Amino acid sequence: MLQSLHALVAPALAERLTLLLNHVLAAEAVATEKLRPHAGRVVSVTLAGWPALLPAPPALAWRVTPAGLLEWCGADADAAPDLAVQVDATNPALMAARALAGEPASVQIDGDAQLAGDVNWLIQNLRWDVAADLERLFGPLVAQQLSQLGRSAAAGLRLALQGAARLAERLRSRGT
């Protein structure tokens, strides 16, 4: 039962992630310009150290389109990637909190040097302007309040996770 649910949910999540990535890329013309020369190339993302207790993430591989956007290769992506990006996912909650705060993830990149340089530039410089999207949906006043609430929640979550990590480290050091 859980396997069939995972088989339905994982591709849907990967497709939504692709939509989000393309939304962020399309918002910055320089981002799509950096990717256009790499049309047809495949970028794979591996979540290294993903906890075994959590459901396995879907296969994450995208082909760069001629428009400089991304196309998900599908759940059974077997194409050899031109670029392999390995993200440290040993602590998914902390990774999510950092993403909410706009901090780039800790990554290791292997493959085509030019594509690696451009993807690294995107990782370092591209951010989702959530406030602008909220403003388009709700207007400036509500967007400002929602954006401030989101920043406060992300900061609180980040502090809580950092405190939990320090506590876990202390307990681990006492146990050895």
CATH number at residue 38: 3.30.1050
Q: Which positions of the chain have pLDDT values less than 70?
A: 1-7, 75-79, 100-102, 129-131, 133-134, 143, 154, 157-158, 161, 165, 168, 175-176
* Residue range(s) defining the domain that contains residue 12: 2-128
Say if CB 73 and CB 62 are below 8 A apart: yes
* Domain identity same for 34 and 106: yes
pLDDT at position 167? 76
Kind plus residue range of the DSSP H or E element containing 123: helix 113-125
* Domain identity same for 66 and 19: yes
Say if CB 83 and CB 111 are below 8 A apart: yes
Q: Judging by DSSP bridges, how do beta strands 83-88 and 42-48 pair with one another?
A: parallel
* Domain identity same for 107 and 148: no
* Domain identity same for 124 and 137: no
